[in-house]
Amino acid sequence: MDEYLTINKIDELVSVIKSLTNYHPKIGMILGSGLGSLAEEIEDPDLIPFEKLPGWPISTIEGHVGRLVIGKLENRQVVAMQGRAHYYEGYSMTQIGLPVRALQRFGVDTIVITNAAGAVNSDFNPGDLMLLTDHLNLIGMTGNNPLRGPNLKEYGPRFPDMSQVYDRELMKIAREVAVENNITLQEGVYVCLAGPSFETPADLRFLHAVGVDAVGMSTVPEATVARHGGLRVMGISGISNKANLDGETVTTHEEVLEAGQVLVPKLTTLIRNVIKRLG
């Protein structure tokens, strides 16, 4: 049986974070594959390696540094997760949700969740950003929801509404910022698959048929947990590759990391300007 989170365990972890920083950020960020260098923009940072945080899931994957970066961006206090753990690494969905639970108890009320994703929508190109307007919780729908287990009523109800996971006001701000800064901002539905294998052409035709625009291996568990807790959530995919619907191209983790180098400057501009507007 899975080990589920308790408020006591979460608070023990949060007390360690509080003992290592004097910042009190309300804005959190999760930086996905190849996107972690955005954290280098954070000024006067306190750096907390995930190893210091009891129970924190640690990523074993190249492109994920594995620490909290807490400091200032656009004169606002922020906390960024430079790297995240994934379900395919062997963690339970409960463990994947722990960082979001902890950041919320630490004081975060708004979270920007990013990922690298493959484009299922043929209008999208590597290097594009995609604003998540919704997600398909395929793993959760088929039994493995991060909210499975005793409900943490301090965060939210047993049966939380998911009609609007991604905050409309944040989406509006992101669209305006993108226009002002000449950034192409695609929009669409993201699906999280278990991974670690990339999709077969048949998988991708299935995802296309059910309305998916971008595919990856993260974000949905964290967004589900964040929404249960009542956080304001913004989701952004960095499109790293075209999904291989025709079976003619090969997808690699190297290309995902390479695309990150093109994506980070755009993502940085977008996130900086969204934060500026949060007031």
Find the distance separating the first CA and the last CA of the chain, reported in whole Å. Answer: 44
Cβ 271 to ligand HPA shortest distance, Å: 19
Alpha-carbon span 64 to 36, nearest angstrom: 7
Instruction: Tell whether residue 117 is a contact of ligand HPA (CB under 6 A).
Output: yes
Is-cis flag, bond preceding 54, omega within 30?
no
45 binds ligand HPA (CB under 6 A): no
Q: Which is nearer to ligand HPA, 199 or 213 (CB)?
A: 199
Q: Residue 14 CB, nearest distance to ligand HPA (Å)?
A: 30
Query: Is residue 29 annotated as a catalytic residue, yes or no?
Result: no
Q: Is 258 a known active-site residue? A: no
Window 235-274: contact mask with ligand HPA (x via CB under 6 A): -----xx-x-------x----x------------------
* 215 part of the interface to ligand HPA, by CB under 6 A: yes
- The verdict on 87 binding ligand HPA (CB under 6 A) reads no
Name the DSSP class of 40.
G
The percent of the chain in helix, strand and coil, each rounded to the nearest 5, is 35, 25, 40
64 catalytically annotated: yes
CA distance 132 to 123: 15
The least distance separating ligand HPA from the CB of residue 119, rounded to whole angstroms, comes to 8
Taking the C-alpha atoms of residue 213 and residue 119, their distance in angstroms, rounded to an integer, is: 6
Nearest residue relative to ligand HPA (C-beta): 118
- Other Cβ atoms less than 10 A from the Cβ of 133: the count is 16
Name residue, tokens 């750096």. 47
The DSSP element (H or E) to which 17 belongs, if any, is helix 7-20
CB of 254 to ligand HPA, least distance (A): 11
> Under the rule (CB under 6 A), what is the footprint of ligand HPA?
116-118, 198-199, 215-217, 240-241, 243, 251, 256
Residues carrying an active site annotation: 33, 64, 86, 88-89, 116, 217-218, 241, 253
